[in-house]
Amino acid sequence: MLSTVAILSAGLAPEAAAADVRSQQWYLSAMKAEEMWKVSTGKGVKVAVVDSGVNSNTPSLQGQVLTNEVPKALSYKATEDYSGHGTTMAELIAGTGKGDGLQGLAPDAKIVPYRIAMTDLDAEEAKKAPDIPKVIRAIADSDVKIINMSFGTKIDWPGLDEAVKYAHEKGKLLFAGTGNDAEKDGKIAYPARYPYVVGVAASDESGKVGEFSEYGNYVDLAAPGLKVPAWCDKTFRRYCTDRRGTSMATAIASASAALVWSAHPDWTANQVLGSLIDTAGRDWARDNPSVYLGYGLIRPRKVLEKKNYQPGPPNTDPLAKENVRGVVDADGEPVSASKEPKPDPSKDTTANGDRTSETASGAEKSDNTTLWVTVGAAAALLVIGGGAFAAYRSRRGA
């Protein structure tokens, strides 16, 4: 099947010299990365980056990319990034920050790169790219723990749902961006749409969920995803500082899981994910997640700061309800992507009566070379550091 998927990041961005890029990574201080690194740096955890390829020669990724662990049949140009997108995701996860490059949230994790056909890849090269379901199955059969999928498609890719389920059964954690088309048509992106994939929404440094960030009952967690620096293009000469998208949020969520798994190597994927859900920043009932923010803003430090954190049963799926039910409409009935309803913002009410921002307490732009358009949904207000982070509306009403 010759088709391409869209990357889930974009930018309107001013450029930055590499030396300035660390100062632009606002979320590192917001998430208290320095404190977390005293406990865990992601060591011992491998993350598969399924993307546009990963340039292993950037200063920040030297020694971080395990090219020899990609099966030969699926390794075509795995370390030749045709857009800069996959390299950015890898650096956000496991970059060392050397050479004034991006500092990864889990700097001692390792990256296993896979290059698939995205919208920036020309047709001839796309034909040579490996089939995505085969890639996911190969990762499932490896010792990689986390699969980062910062891409989306409106197509229910043949065999991808079964590959995802297989990876879940093999004990992998799968993260994907929920999509950047919130106002355009509201249709859900695959693979975030599938059961057993953790759908990640994007937030900015002031605490606002991106207006472009897709919403629905498939949103499981939120993570920083606005004004995040990224490589501007495939030349790797400069970073752009105003990138945004659920791509970035997905990478940061994957890195968060790597930190927790590194600190607790005996935990299962269910326990790692369960701990991130339990400690996510929210001001609503855990069993009544938001259509915009899911179970809340990811906060791995809340797991790491408790030496005797109890993660729950190893075989209990923390998203069992969602994984059995799948995407549903307002009546709780399953829906297809082509018939996906949009939540009605006019029905939203918040503590301050503002329908464009939802508030709660108790928790910590677009380089659109893709199919995704960065325009918005009703926003939710979050404060990453210690205060508020909210989405008043639950997904029961979605």
User: Which domains, from first to last, does the chain contain?
Assistant: 6-397 (3.40.50.200)
Rounded average pLDDT over 150-166: 94
Predicted confidence (pLDDT) per residue in 27-57, tens digit: 999 999 999 999 999 999 999 999 999 999 9
Task: Report pLDDT for 4.
Answer: 60
Task: Give the separation between CA 153 and CA 285, rounded to whole angstroms.
Answer: 31
Task: Give the separation between CA 304 and CA 275, rounded to whole angstroms.
Answer: 10
Predicted confidence (pLDDT) per residue in 106-128, tens digit: 999 999 999 999 888 989 999 99
Rounded average pLDDT over 173-178: 97
Rounded average pLDDT over 190-202: 96
Task: Give the separation between CA 283 and CA 209, rounded to whole angstroms.
Answer: 15
Task: Report pLDDT for 285.
Answer: 85
Task: Give the separation between CA 7 and CA 30, rounded to whole angstroms.
Answer: 25
Rounded average pLDDT over 370-395: 30
Rounded average pLDDT over 283-296: 89
Half-sphere exposure of 214 (CA within 13 A, CB side): 36
Helix H segments across 106-245? 123-128, 132-140, 160-169
More confident residue, 285 or 16: 285
Q: pTM of the prediction?
A: 0.84
Task: Give the separation between CA 141 and CA 69, rounded to whole angstroms.
Answer: 11
Predicted confidence (pLDDT) per residue in 300-323, tens digit: 999 999 989 999 999 999 999 888
More confident residue, 164 or 364: 164
Torsion over CA of 357, 149, 92 and 198, rounded to 10 degrees?
50
Task: Report pLDDT for 372.
Answer: 25
pLDDT exceeds cutoff 70 at 327? no
Q: How confident is the model at residue 361 (pLDDT cuts 50, 70, 90)?
A: very low
Task: Report pLDDT for 279.
Answer: 97
Task: Report pLDDT for 368.
Answer: 30
Which residues are known to be catalytic? 51, 85, 247
Predicted confidence (pLDDT) per residue in 201-214, tens digit: 999 887 678 999 99
More confident residue, 66 or 217: 66
More confident residue, 87 or 329: 87
